[in-house]
Amino acid sequence: MSEKKTVSIVGGSGYAGGEFLRLALGHPYLEVKQVTSRRYLGDPVSLVHPNLRGRTNLKFVDPAQLEPCDILVLSMPHGVAAKDIEKYRGLAPIILDLSADFRLKNLDLYKKYYGEDHPRPDLLNQWVYGNPELYREALQTANHIACCGCNATATLLGLYPLVKEGLLAAGPIFATLMISTSAAGAEPSLASHHPERSGSIRAYKPTGHRHTAEIRENLPGNPEVHLTAVATDRVRGILMTAQTFLREGLTEKDVWAAYRKVYGAEPFIRIVKLKKGIHRYPDPKGVEGTNYCDVGFELEEDTRRLVVISAIDNLVKGTAGHAIQSLNVRMGWPETTGLEFTGLHP
């Protein structure tokens, strides 16, 4: 068995940090050393994350009390990590950032979607985008991993084989994302207030979603992609549906061939397209709590319109799960380590 590596989590009282903590506590090669939170300083982590009762005796510490460790996970609001990155770089040789601070290489895209210049453009080339299905080889030697956004993950994994293999006709791709409440984070707001959110299906970002930048930058050839984000009252999960068109002369067999060629050996991608039953296409319910991304499609043959469907758990495959998966790749551990949970039904 490999020697355990120590890991500390900055911002462990949020949903993303808490999910990484949950997965790390069950990982055979990780030992959680410290978890920080100013708000819950001195409280047991199980006070905030009741699912961890009996799993750990860790208490939240002040970020100023962080000690050196092997791996440091940054789980803070956008913009915070970049401002203090030198301090964090001095604490651990390997850093995983769950925020958007270092995801983009294109400074123009960053300014367009985040409304400001990047604070540390000099460091961007030192970070590898944390999507193992796209960047497995680069992750093998990456000491700084910028974990991708949940909506970007769902969209990229649905579209990547089709774009990579050149199946799509020229023209824009339109994607709609049905997003759960936990994607907004643990901080309450009027929009997340139960009487406002319960039973609601609300288009909250019809245009200009920030994750559009990640998708455009990481799909081969930087195709034109447009997102519409719709808030639902599910606690976990994202359902992505993308509208695009196949090139003239291509058929459903070509679509199947592309997915099988690119994803045939992927441990966490499942192609879901059945001819019978009620679970014929991807559904977030089927991946809840797991690191799977289910991908499906439907071709309208007379128009060549292709509807691509993907489903993920936004906190696992969309955040902490692909962070663990990327770390497994980096450390040379089996890629599925700590991510074996298969989900529940019903």
Question: Which residues are identified as catalytic?
Answer: 150
Q: Cα(197)–Cα(209) distance, rounded to whole angstroms?
A: 20
3-state class of 258 per DSSP? helix
- CB-based burial label for 120 (10 Å; 0-12, 13-18, 19+): middle
* Cα angle 122-128-130, degrees, rounded to a multiple of 5: 140
CA distances from 174 to 171, 229, 240, 246, 283 (A): 10, 11, 10, 14, 19
Contact 114, 100 (CB under 8 A): yes
Nearest to 263 by CA among 224, 308, 307: 308
Residue type, 131: N
Q: How far is CA 251 from CA 222, 270, 309, in A?
A: 24, 21, 17
Joined tokens for residue 235: 């606690």
Q: Which of 30, 38, 20 is nearest to 99 (CA)?
A: 20
**φ, ψ of residue 173 in degrees (nearest 5):** -115, 130
Cβ(335)–Cβ(310) below 8 Å:
no
Q: In which element (H, E) is residue 9 found? A: strand 5-10
